């Protein structure tokens, strides 16, 4: 599980009407997302391992750092306003589950706004 090069997104379910997708993301210890926002609504939680989420304000100052364990759900971003960075800062692999309000054909380009 996991790719040593980078965290990996796996599509688990595609809504036939194109309203959302469910993905699992696998993270090895130390793997970190860019600082990003979303173009669409997003909700996520942890299936396995420990996830660290940092939330930022518009000037990219850290507002809040949260650790999530299996079964826990992060703050939802229903209006595409949040800016965050997600990481596996634990010592074991992490699997997180993400719902995005995007059609499958826009999965690679239609979700994230990357800040750095
Ligand atoms: Fe995100």
Determine the distance separating the centroid of ligand 1 and the alpha carbon of 97, expressed in angstroms.
Answer: 11
pLDDT of residue 104: 87
CA distance 33 to 18: 25
- The tens digit of pLDDT for each residue in 37-51 reads 999 999 999 999 999
- The tens digit of pLDDT for each residue in 48-82 reads 999 999 999 999 999 999 999 999 999 988 888 89
Q: Judge whether residue 116 has pLDDT over 80.
A: no
pLDDT of residue 67: 98
Determine the distance separating the centroid of ligand 1 and the alpha carbon of 17, expressed in angstroms.
Answer: 23
Quick check: 93 and 47 in contact, CB under 8 A? no
Q: Judge whether residue 1 has pLDDT over 80.
A: no
Determine the distance separating the centroid of ligand 1 and the alpha carbon of 14, expressed in angstroms.
Answer: 18
């Amino acid at each position: 599980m996991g790719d040593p090069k980078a965290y990996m997104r796996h599509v688990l379910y595609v809504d036939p009407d194109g309203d959302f997708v469910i993905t699992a993301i696998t993270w090895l210890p130390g793997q970190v997302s860019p600082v990003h926002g979303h173009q669409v609504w997003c909700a996520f939680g942890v299936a396995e391992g420990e996830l660290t989420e940092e939330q930022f304000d518009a000037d990219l100052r850290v507002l809040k750092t949260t650790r999530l364990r299996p079964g826990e759900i992060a703050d939802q971003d229903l209006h595409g306003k949040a800016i965050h960075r997600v990481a596996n800062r634990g010592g074991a692999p992490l699997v997180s589950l993400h719902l995005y309000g995007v059609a499958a054909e826009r999965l690679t380009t239609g979700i994230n706004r990357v800040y750095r």
